[in-house]
Structure 1
């Protein structure tokens, strides 16, 4: 690695840093994009790893209380010190990141741009454990990496870079757990995913989707939800149990190409038509799945859509489809709606299909939606609901096993009114839900041989049995399906 960077650090230029002859123009566009993904920097202590010549340092020191900038190339460190030490709130360290040591709880945010791809898996895991310790509880880790293949056009006689997949980073980083138990009790921490998304500058300027950014938060791991079993995060539960790649594709086979929610394209068209979308509007799709509804909205109405989902399996499939669709109006990200931040009045529409059943504090989430919408903005949600308690033991067991948090359609609508939405329509669409399930069961019977050939008899039986049980839960009145529409004045 030292030999590689000696070859590419002779003049300490931005072109050398980025290994790209077009570095100046790329920086002009990507720098504000990257900085916009960071949490608030005011008054915090930051560690910048792989700081290089200070492309980001100069901006970070203008906002943070203190920045510790680290790089292992002497020329880069000296250039950074020369350009950015004048403010007096930065320390510049030349060090090998794998040998770094800092006291526990030293930083609020660790920032890394193109560093982890130069570490082996073992080095990366070791560094991730150290970073968990260096961060204060609730602190953030931001990193950006090249995935799949290289991006820069600089000639390289040899290339020591590890071009991992996004899923590899997701698994490696979220599986690290640190024990910080003390006299006050047992305390374990890990990284929760807040955001994972592609760098749009590289898509627009290079048609390159291999640049990805992550924002993760140091969070407690002590209490594991009952429905998560042995998985340490809800995201791992989704990706490894409910929404495995195979599970997603078999749902799609039932719902229709691009869809994993009730009714597929037919209910999507019906519900989206209620929004009266116009070209140029911005739509946020919370729980976007594999993107069928997002592609439909962008193609049909010319709106810009940001699809977000906590399942990295879902988003990876959506991104693969986006490449084929060649629709720059649609973007996807892995993110947690309960932790994601957007400026006020960012979107014209917030749209969500059968997703919020996973989220416990619906009132808090609806408050976020209200803030993110522009005045006059619209909200449209379909979601699993429930009948009045007491529920049957069978339904209670189902809800517990899935970890769903369900309310009656009426109570759901009250939450929306309570946070400020007006013109709230809370509709019980359970009869429509029943008819959709029946038609999907009929479709399953018609495609049985094709389905079994593509998946398996076990997969077919799992789908059909699941749908049949869903019908039974609806017919007893325990399971309901709600459609919710509201506006922000």
Structure 2
């Protein structure tokens, strides 16, 4: 392993002679990029008030000075002596900070001593084994509830700096997702069993690079250290809800099967027709900002941006969904639409950030709906609108078959009336809670008829087994609706 570290040392000696931002970012356009991406990256961080922050790969202090201004204490670490000297010289007077020159693979900190680990362009300079070992340390160093933020170049080089050799590992986002979500730290003692892992808060492209360089390969992540033990049962043994979604409910093949039923670009009931009907209720105007919670593969977002000229941020916890949405976005060439993998229950936005919050058949997955609706209320501007369609239920008792279905999917369902009450309770005005089950039934019947017409094409594209699974699934939905157990609700509300 020493020869790898020596090679990395030589690489950075070559690129740290003058300790400039251009050297550190390996890009001749570094000044302008920094001006735009600094506020973007900082806006994604959790609150740093009263927190102990470890910044790895701090370089000459592009981020250090901003972190010092917000945190209780910052430890800024870099490999290269010249970078550390410049960072210390420029930023040590700003507040409580320590500057360390060290190889991160040899670093150690006490257990539970940090609230945030921040790393910008570091992990791609580590081998797979070094990365795994450091990630295990991260989860040990962080206090429960603490955060890990990291940003990497994926797939290929981004900076235009000439390199005689390049020891960087350009990994796929899926590699980082899998590594971080599979970590498990056992901190059990004699009195209590305690395991910790990382939950995804967000994973998204750095928009500065999309806008300035048409580069989709700069990605960042925010993960949170959480207790693991309690969540495993209801997701069939998957350690995170996201793993359950990506490996069971929304595999890539499963998503494309759904799209075949719902129509190109859509994975929710009624496809384009219900999207058009519901979006038309919002009276969108050019320049408005829309948040789509549970955006799926993005068909509704492309429709809103193209038709009304609105800016749309589509978020989904399924990385498979977002991966497909981002592939489509490249073809659509719509800079007004952005996508991110994120957890709506953990994501933070400034108050009054959006004109519209829109969500289709997603919130059925979320347990604390009241808390989520409070977030929606705070994220909306005064006069902002909320539109949700979602799976609901009839009054209890439910049939055993419906109870089994809900348990197997991990859904948390309410009657349309109760759902509407939640929205009123958090402060929304003009709440309309409509039971649209009859429309749902008609849409399912139409989709089943379409499936019958394209049966051969469907089987050719997927398989007989896939066709049978989808048709059976749709038929069961019909039966659940006809017994009165399953309902479909449409909810509209405004923030006064």
Q: Match of 1:348?
A: 355
- 1:62 is paired with a residue whose SS is helix
Q: Match of 1:77?
A: 84
2:315 to 308, 319, 334: 308
Following superposition, the deviation at residue 225 of structure 1 comes to 4.3
Distance between the aligned counterparts of 2:405 and 2:233, measured in 1? 12
Distance between the aligned counterparts of 2:55 and 2:190, measured in 1? 32
Q: How does 1:288-299 map to 2 (within 5 A)?
A: 288-299=295-306
Q: Match of 1:337?
A: 344
Q: Match of 1:177?
A: 184
2:129 to 122, 127, 136: 122
Q: How does 1:51-200 map to 2 (within 5 A)?
A: 51-200=58-207
Distance between the aligned counterparts of 1:415 and 1:42, measured in 2? 32
Q: Deviations over 1:20-66 (max 9, x none)?
A: 00101111111111111111111211000011111111111111111
Q: Deviations over 1:351-393 (max 9, x none)?
A: 0000000001111111110111111111000000000000000
Distance between the aligned counterparts of 2:232 and 2:291, measured in 1? 28
Q: Match of 1:473?
A: 480
Following superposition, the deviation at residue 74 of structure 1 comes to 1.1
1:416 to 2:458 alignment: no
Q: Deviations over 1:408-441 (max 9, x none)?
A: 0000001011111111111000010001111111
- 1:137 is paired with a residue whose SS is strand
Between stretches 347-356 and 182-191, larger displacement belongs to 182-191
Distance between the aligned counterparts of 2:102 and 2:271, measured in 1? 54
- 2:231 is paired with a residue whose SS is coil
Distance between the aligned counterparts of 1:55 and 1:263, measured in 2? 48
Kept in 1: contact 2:74–2:98 (CA 8 A): yes
Following superposition, the deviation at residue 83 of structure 1 comes to 1.2
Q: Match of 2:238?
A: 231
Distance between the aligned counterparts of 1:225 and 1:108, measured in 2? 25
Following superposition, the deviation at residue 102 of structure 1 comes to 0.5
Distance between the aligned counterparts of 1:101 and 1:174, measured in 2? 22
Q: Match of 2:291?
A: 284
Distance between the aligned counterparts of 2:489 and 2:255, measured in 1? 23
Q: Match of 1:42?
A: 49
1:359 to 2:371 alignment: no
Following superposition, the deviation at residue 125 of structure 1 comes to 1.2
Q: Deviations over 1:103-162 (max 9, x none)?
A: 001111000000011112221111111000100000000000111111100011111111
Distance between the aligned counterparts of 1:148 and 1:294, measured in 2? 26
Evaluate the alpha carbon distance shift between residue 227 and residue 457 of structure 1 in structure 2; reply closer, same or farther with a 3 A threshold: farther
Provide the alpha-carbon RMSD of the alignment. 0.8
Q: How does 1:200-279 map to 2 (within 5 A)?
A: 200-279=207-286
Distance between the aligned counterparts of 1:343 and 1:381, measured in 2? 21
Following superposition, the deviation at residue 3 of structure 1 comes to 1.3
Following superposition, the deviation at residue 88 of structure 1 comes to 4.7
1:484 to 2:479 alignment: no
1:391 to 2:373 alignment: no
Kept in 2: contact 1:226–1:403 (CA 8 A): no
Distance between the aligned counterparts of 1:211 and 1:180, measured in 2? 34
Following superposition, the deviation at residue 227 of structure 1 comes to 3.1
- 1:468 is paired with a residue whose SS is helix
Kept in 1: contact 2:272–2:300 (CA 8 A): yes
- 2:201 is paired with a residue whose SS is strand
Give the TM-score normalised by the residue count of structure 2: 0.98
Runs of 4+ in 1 over 6 A off after TM superposition: none
Distance between the aligned counterparts of 1:336 and 1:237, measured in 2? 14
Following superposition, the deviation at residue 87 of structure 1 comes to 3.1
Unmatched runs of 5 consecutive residues or more in structure 2: 1-7
- 1:352 is paired with a residue whose SS is strand
Give the TM-score normalised by the residue count of structure 1: 0.99
Q: Match of 2:413?
A: 406
Kept in 1: contact 2:65–2:94 (CA 8 A): no
Between stretches 155-164 and 107-116, larger displacement belongs to 155-164
Q: Match of 2:379?
A: 372
